[in-house]
């Protein structure tokens, strides 16, 4: 191992320790980075192609984002709140219906004379799945509420995003000046690769989440499934978890449909299968391609590991984190 490699590895370890020590302050920075990648394409389009002033382009980009949020609050949040209120009011009844359904399923299984050990495993597995979904939902809601409760984040994030959008080249140049001369080339190469991966991944996921939410929510609405708007939003959020997200989103939809009618549950199952096939074979490759350059098994394992380390946020950020670590490894292993 060369001297340069040792120096770079030690520097990365020290950086990792620093990031761990300031992890409490990283959330607004990470969210500002995501906002930067979402707004930068429109900002570049206005400032480069239409020759508008950069500051004006940033203001217009923020205005478009605010307009989208306003429209969401006008047309999506009220019916969502109404559906959520109905769901919360009916949860005790739904839990009772689910328990009855499981009891009926166990009686049906008994008719096949399934060994007790296997029957216990199946029952425990189903119960653990439901418990996991409840915990996952609670952690996600608590994390979101915790973020919203810190008003300072809502002020800092747009400010950081503005400066990232206004002068990204000079910010990168200033950061590069702190890197020793012998390591500038490889650092610049790594940063360009990471920037390209994150840009394509974040923008691509935004498109895919919107498409999946519309397809699943619209499909459930047309099929007459209760709480179609909630299910569509759940599907859109779950799409942020690569590979296993669609499976997570299908579970509550199937439970709600089954409580209404087993036939309806079959239609819902077909709907989610069709949406997932479209995602895997058509939309996913066209929008994301192979931007992360990770094997699907690697993605699933990384989700499990970072989910354990970081909680619910680990599910959402595992894939880009591992993609970044892979870039670092491939570059630093070379002399």
User: Is 0.85 topped by the overall pTM?
Assistant: no
Do residues 215 and 47 make contact, with C-beta atoms less than 8 angstroms apart? Answer: no
Supply the pLDDT for residue 298.
83
**pLDDT 10s digit of each residue in the chain, 335 long?**
677 777 778 878 888 888 778 776 788 888 899 999 999 999 999 998 888 999 999 999 999 999 998 888 788 878 877 887 887 777 777 767 766 766 666 665 555 555 666 666 656 666 666 666 666 566 655 665 555 556 667 788 899 999 999 988 888 888 888 888 877 888 888 888 888 888 888 888 888 899 999 999 999 999 999 899 989 999 998 888 877 777 888 988 998 898 888 899 999 999 999 998 888 777 777 776 566 777 777 888 888 888 778 777 788 888 888 888 888 888 877 65
Distance CA 53, CA 55 (A): 6
* Alpha carbon separation from 289 to 184, 197, 200, 257, 294 (Å, rounded): 30, 11, 9, 33, 11
**First-to-last C-alpha distance (Å) of the chain:** 7
Domain ranges of the chain: 180-335
What CA–CA distance (Å, rounded) separates 70 from 73? 5
User: Do the Cβ atoms of 179 and 191 come closer than 8 Å?
Assistant: no
Name the phi and psi angles at 201, rounded to 5: -70, -50
The pLDDT tens digits of the residues spanning 20-75 come to 787 767 888 888 999 999 999 999 999 988 889 999 999 999 999 999 988 887 88
């Amino acid at each position: 191992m060369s001297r340069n490699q040792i120096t770079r590895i030690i520097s990365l370890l020290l950086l990792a320790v620093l990031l761990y020590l300031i992890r409490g302050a990283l959330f607004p920075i990470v969210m500002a980075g995501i906002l930067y990648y979402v707004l930068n394409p429109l900002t570049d389009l206005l400032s480069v192609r239409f020759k508008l002033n950069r500051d004006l382009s940033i203001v217009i980009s923020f205005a478009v984002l605010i307009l989208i949020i306003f429209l969401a609050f006008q047309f999506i949040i009220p019916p969502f709140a109404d559906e959520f209120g109905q769901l919360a009011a009916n949860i005790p009844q739904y839990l009772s219906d689910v328990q009855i359904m499981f009891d009926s399923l166990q009686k049906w299984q008994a008719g096949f004379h399934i060994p007790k050990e296997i029957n216990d495993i199946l029952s425990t597995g189903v119960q653990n799945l439901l418990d996991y979904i409840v915990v996952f939902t609670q952690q996600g809601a608590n994390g979101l509420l915790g973020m919203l409760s810190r008003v300072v984040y809502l002020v800092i994030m747009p400010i950081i995003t503005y400066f990232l959008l206004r002068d990204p080249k000079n910010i990168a140049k200033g950061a590069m000046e702190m890197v020793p001369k012998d390591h500038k080339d490889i650092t610049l190469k790594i940063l360009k690769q990471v920037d390209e991966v994150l840009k394509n991944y974040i923008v691509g996921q935004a498109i895919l989440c919107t498409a999946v939410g519309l397809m699943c929510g619209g499909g459930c609405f047309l099929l007459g499934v209760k709480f179609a708007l909630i299910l569509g939003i759940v599907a859109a959020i779950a799409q942020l978890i690569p590979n296993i997200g669609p499976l997570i989103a299908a579970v509550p939809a199937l439970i709600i449909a089954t409580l209404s009618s087993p036939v309806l549950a079959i239609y819902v199952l077909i709907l989610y299968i069709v949406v997932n096939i479209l995602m895997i074979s058509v939309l996913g490759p066209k929008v994301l391609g192979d931007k992360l350059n990770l094997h699907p098994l690697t993605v699933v394992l990384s989700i499990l590991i970072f989910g354990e380390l970081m909680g619910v946020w680990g599910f959402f950020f595992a894939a880009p984190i591992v993609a970044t670590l892979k870039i670092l490894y491939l570059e630093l292993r070379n002399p």
